């Protein structure tokens, strides 16, 4: 899947708002606000359930990495997530 298509599909999921569980949250981290070198995917199956996390990292901005963005789309699709959220901005490591 190319980068533009992956970003479009993620954007569509993010604009839906809360629609219940399971839910997936994306948080980007980096050394500067302009370059996210890590993304943390948090999956919650149901309200009150323990969160599961998976991290992906790269040397360049992961928001512009076609492979990582495609993997995020696949994770969301395969998990059956009804809600997808994103922490705004880039947190610092």
Closest CA to 84 of 25, 7, 20: 25
Complete DSSP assignment for 1-33: --HHHHHHHHHHHHTT----SSEEEEEEEESBT
Domain range list for the chain: 3-92
Is the pLDDT score of 3 beyond 80? yes
Is the pLDDT score of 93 beyond 80? no
Give this prediction's pTM. 0.91
Can you give the length of the chain in residues?
A: 93
Query: Sorting pLDDT into bands at 50, 70 and 90, what band is 9?
Result: very high
Rounded to the nearest integer, the mean pLDDT of the chain is 95
Name residue 41's beta-bridge partners: 26, 54
pLDDT tens, residue by residue, 18-76: 999 999 999 999 999 999 999 999 999 999 999 999 999 999 999 999 999 999 999 99
């Amino acid at each position: 899947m190319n980068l533009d298509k992956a970003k479009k599909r993620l954007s569509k999921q993010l604009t839906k708002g809360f629609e219940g569980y399971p839910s997936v949250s994306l948080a980007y981290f980096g050394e500067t606000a302009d370059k996210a070198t890590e993304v943390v995917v948090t999956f919650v199956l149901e309200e009150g359930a323990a969160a599961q996390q998976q991290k992906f990292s790269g040397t360049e901005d992961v928001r512009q990495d076609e492979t990582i963005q495609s993997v995020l789309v696949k994770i969301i699709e395969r998990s059956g997530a009804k809600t997808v959220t994103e922490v705004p901005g880039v947190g610092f490591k």
